[in-house]
Amino acid sequence: MLSTLITITTLLALSNAQSWVPSGDLPVDFSLTFSAPEVVYDVCNRNFTQSARTISVATTGVAVTPGETANDPTAMTITGAAPGDMFTILMVDPDTSSAEVGTTEKPLLHMLITNITNADPSTGAVLNPYGGPMPPPCSGDHTYHYLLLRQAAALSLTVDDLPGFTPDCTNPGLIGRCLFEVANFISSNQLTPVGYVTMVAATDGYVRYGYVNDRGMSEADSCRGLDGYDPCPTAPPGSGSEKVMVSMSAFMASAWCLIFSVIFVLN
């Protein structure tokens, strides 16, 4: 009985993951390289120093900072492709702080390149240029997913087609990006996931500086969570924490329903 319950719980947990995240060994190696300069950000009554370094994102869960990955990747490498293969590269963030911007199944689009030939991303059509991590203060860790997708044929997509994959997006500044239907995009364009990496980033000095100086956020709000400023809210409306709690509640409800069903059948 215990093993049955463990199996049920495991299956439910797996079903709660993003449907568009590939699993198992993938046939093509994909990696990105970032070259971060040394920068000092003066904000929140302190200096945030970003050291110069080169970052390679060649697997899942690579820890980075938004400042280090703010600029376009200096290299994107595809290894193991067959002759004639064409690819699409998709970058998304499902951990947005607002459910109106992104969710687990419909994340925020950060980059989209199609019709890549000769395993060379520079040959592709850039439909959405790279937009680096910018996780708002107090929004926790954000995982940025990069999917390498093999095309069945050349795609005729243009920038004007992107809003068709964001029908639920109501933010006028994010049309074609927010609530991006990844699963729909993959299936409707006959794409196959063949490579996958992720990087994880949280708020840093670059983000706080940018929100104050470029986005008009007050210093008090941008510096929340730091010594000398207000603490982060526990679960603000529409926050990632709130989305997690809603997801977990649904998961637990489903789990208990299935467990009681099994017990009923066994009896």
What is the structure's pLDDT at 265? Answer: 40
Element containing residue 226 per DSSP (H, E): none
Is the CA virtual torsion 155, 158, 160, 162 positive or negative?
A: positive
Q: Using an 8 Å Cβ cutoff, are 4 and 260 in contact? A: no
Residue-wise pLDDT for 157-184, tens only, equals: 999 999 999 999 999 999 999 999 999 9
Specify the pTM.
Answer: 0.84
**Strand 53-57 versus strand 29-36 pairing type:** antiparallel
**192 is written with which tokens?**
């196959």
**Strand 191-201 versus strand 62-63 pairing type:** parallel
Element containing residue 239 per DSSP (H, E): none
State what percent of residues in the chain have pLDDT above 70. Answer: 81
What is the structure's pLDDT at 125? Answer: 98
The count of C-alpha atoms lying within 13 angstroms of the C-alpha of 28, restricted to the half-sphere facing its C-beta, is 25
Average pLDDT estimate for 139-154 = 98
d(CA 107, CA 147): 13
Confidence of residue 234 (pLDDT cuts 50, 70, 90): confident
d(CA 91, CA 113): 9
Residue-wise pLDDT for 38-96, tens only, equals: 999 999 999 999 999 999 999 999 999 999 999 999 999 999 999 999 999 999 999 99
What is the structure's pLDDT at 256? Answer: 42
Choice between 188 and 242, residue whose per-residue pLDDT is larger: 188
Is the confidence at residue 262, as pLDDT, over 70?
no
CA angle 102, 106, 18 (to 5 degrees): 115
**218 is written with which tokens?**
């007050």
Q: Using an 8 Å Cβ cutoff, are 146 and 32 in contact? A: yes
Residue 193: C-alpha distances to residues 63, 80, 225, 228, 242 (Å): 23, 14, 38, 46, 30
For residue 261, give every residue at least 6 positions away whose Cβ sits within 8 Å of its Cβ, in sequence order, or none: none
What is the structure's pLDDT at 191? Answer: 98
**Residues paired with 39 in a beta bridge:** 50
Phi first, then psi, for residue 260 (nearest 5°) are: -65, -35
d(CA 31, CA 244): 29
What is the structure's pLDDT at 242? Answer: 46
What is the structure's pLDDT at 204? Answer: 98
Is the confidence at residue 12, as pLDDT, over 90?
no
d(CA 150, CA 89): 9
